[in-house]
Every structure is written in C-alpha cells, then in structure tokens.
Chains A and B, each alone.
Chain A
Amino acid sequence: MSKTVEKNSKFLISENGLEKTSPKKRLEVLKTYKIYIGGQFPRTESGRYYIATNNKGEQLANVCLSSRKDFRDAVVSARNAFKGWSARAAFNRGQILYRIAEMFEGRKAQFIEELVKQDASKAQAQKEVTLSIDRLIYYAGWCDKYQQIFGTVNPVASSHFNFSVPEPTGVVAAIAPQESSLIGLVSAIAPIIAGANTCVILASETKPLCAVSFAEVVNSSDVPGGVVNILTGKPSELFSQFASHMDVNAIVYCGNDELIQKEIQQKAAGNVKRVLAYQDVNWLSEKGQTPYYILDLQEIKTTWHPIENIGSGGGGY
C-alpha cells in the first residue's frame, strides 16, 4: 500500500507505512475480522487473508481467506450441533431467533457504520440494518408455525392414523448473496435455522465486514455453537467443496453465475444434495422473506400408526 488512504478508512497509513499519529489523538483499536466456527472465532487455519476494500479501492480490513479445511471443520461443527438444535422445542428456537434480533438491535450503529464503509449511503445502511433485524423477527415468528402450515393429517382409507410433518434437512451449506453485506446473509441464514437446520455460510467476498460482526451478534444470542458457522473468502475457491462434501445435506446458492450453479448441481449429485438456487432475488423487498424458504430445506416425514378396530361395527362414539 503506497498511497495515503483517506479519512474514511480505519487504516490511516502514510506513505512510509507508519501510522499517522498525533500526540493528542486517541489511537483507534482496530477489529480483527475472524471467521466463526463452532461458536468460536478462529483465524483461518490456512493463515491466508485478503484485503477488503471499498469501491474506491481503499483498504477496510484484512479478512480471513477461508480454506477447504476451514469449511470441513465448520461442517463437523454444524453436524455436531444439528442433533441438539433440531431437538429443541420450536418455541425455543423462536425465542433464540428473537434474541438474535434483540442483540442486533443494540448494535445497529456498528452495522450502519460498516455498511457505510462498504459504500452504502447512510439512509441505505439504516434501511438495510433495520430490515435485517425485522427479518429475524419475521422468521422468529415462523419457528413454531410453518409445521402447522406445511404439515398434514392424511385421511387414509385403511384403519391408520397418518400424518406428515416437515423436519429439517440437516446440515446446509450456503453461499450468501454477493451484492450485499448484511441483508442477503441474514435472509439466507434465518430460514435455514428457523427450520431447525444448522449451516455453514460463506459471506459476500467483496463486502465481508457485516458477516463477521453478525457472527458476534449470533454468538451472544443463546444460539448454540455450531448452529451458525460463518466463513469469509472466495466463492470461486470454495463452492465446489460446498457442493461435493458428503456430510452436507443441502446447498443454497444465492447468485447469478450460471456456470457455478451448474457445477454445484453436478457435484451435489454425489450424495443427492438438495440444491436451492435463488437467482435475482431482491432481498431488500418483501420477496426476500417467505415461509417457502423454510419449506425448501425441510423433509416431509409421514408416520403411520394403526387404529384399533374394536367397536368399528357400531361406530366409535
């Protein structure tokens, strides 16, 4: 970095590489942007990083360039967390999603600041943050309701009690929308975990800051470690691993690159993964939220149970 970087940046670096300091000014404490795996914030095991910049090319932060190994570790965490998370009462999951929103609300200013750094206007940033919080509230409310909307009691012709309920698919790998830093990520994560799945999600490559801060919000919100795992890095480097991992049950791809989508679909066939490709969704609109996103990551289980036939001759009442 040879040029002097301007005021907006956290890194005030002069041409000789030393920080500009003045005797009176307090030195700002910079944040280390780490990844989030199994409820902890490690650096990437690979030791690699990339530099997140704004549109002007100004350096915003050093960000972990997650490796395949990080992804595999995250899948192990997500798998371990799945049993407990899916066994929680739906009501409890709803409370935890609501808790994420509460923690989030308290840190609005930080997210707005990060969005502004990543080229959003103040107004846009405010809108995106509040909408992201409200989206979590929306899905918090769905946690104990989608089962009633999408489940059925089936009037079979034989003497059986038969019903179908949605159950989580399992571990979901997701590639978050690349064009936004926050709303896309939150809109992808919320229906996955509201539906009792656990996830490993790759943040926007170019706008990664909010993803890491969101991980901190999640971490302080009673979400068990491993339910949400957030990586930063390059989709181009990791998508194929996301699609081919044999212990991942479904993959969500929020992007418009048709070649990537095709390869994901091909590799997903290795263990019959469910592939959800959300193209051209405006996550800032009403269309960015629906219980059908929850349903996309559910399996329908049908249970048969015999009904005793005694007394059937004369009606059961």
Chain B
Amino acid sequence: MPKRKPVSKQQTEAIRTYIKQGYSANKIQKKLKSQGLGIRRQTLLAEVRKLKGKKPRAQSHKYTPKKYRRRISPPARRPVYSGKHIAVYRYATTSRYRVLARKLGLPKSYSARFELYGNGKDIAKAVHLALSGFVPRWENPHVECSARAFLANPYKYGEKGMWVGKPNIES
C-alpha cells in the first residue's frame, strides 16, 4: 500500500458525515477546504474508499502521476526466471559412462551442459559445484534447472565426473 499523509480525526469525521449525505468526492474536498481542513485529492479518495468499505484501487502505480511515483511502493520485481540462463558446458565423462562406452564402443566422453538460472549468488555457488567435477548424467546430458534446486539436491541432476576437452577421434 502506498504511504500517505495521515488524516486527522476531524477530517475523518467530516468525510464520514458528507459520505452519509451522499456528497461526491469533489464536493467533499471543497467543503473541507472551506472549513480549513484541506486535504490532498489522492488522500481524500483513498479515505472515501476506505469509509465506503471498497477495495483499494488496483494498479495504483500506473495511475499515479510520475512525480509522485517514488512515494508509493515500486512495481513487483522481475521474476527470477526470465528465460535467460548461464550455461556450463563441455564434454564430460564419468567412471560409470566409461564402462558403458567400452562395452558399446562409444566415444569416451559425451557433450554435456548445465543451464542454470536464479540469482547471482546461487548461480555462482552452482557453477563452483559444477567446476569442482560435477557433471550431468549420460542419460540426461542437457540439464536445465534453477541454481537453488541444483544446490539443494545436486545428485538429482548429475553425478561426480570430469569435464574434458573435445575427444580426438581417430578412425
């Protein structure tokens, strides 16, 4: 809710009386001014809505003149998931995969990537974990997850292994 100058008891009582008499907000403002109880338009409208038992106006930020916008609460921040990820990628290998590769005659490494999103601190921690030798599983080499979820349960998304360079395949 935006912060407004408090309304005095006298003003509140006067407004309540005028509302009961069916006065419009415009007329109430003029009456208050003539009695030396002048009030800002926005404050008055909010008070009228409150006394009438109506909900505060939606999208107040949008309808507030720019010069007063700083006084009210800012619009909600951008969500953490904005579709932009930080990718940690290269070829990877694990002991489990090497056994399988030997059996099936596959290359010794596979292309793997983590795509992480979230706030900077979480991403930094997650990247450090990946750099320390945590790689995506061979079954799911392309992992897209939030950095926080990855940190909470890294074995859900990967396993201990090794990041390696591009394999030199000689036929």
* A and B held together in a complex: no
Residues of A within 8 A of B (CB): none
Residues of B within 8 A of A (CB): none
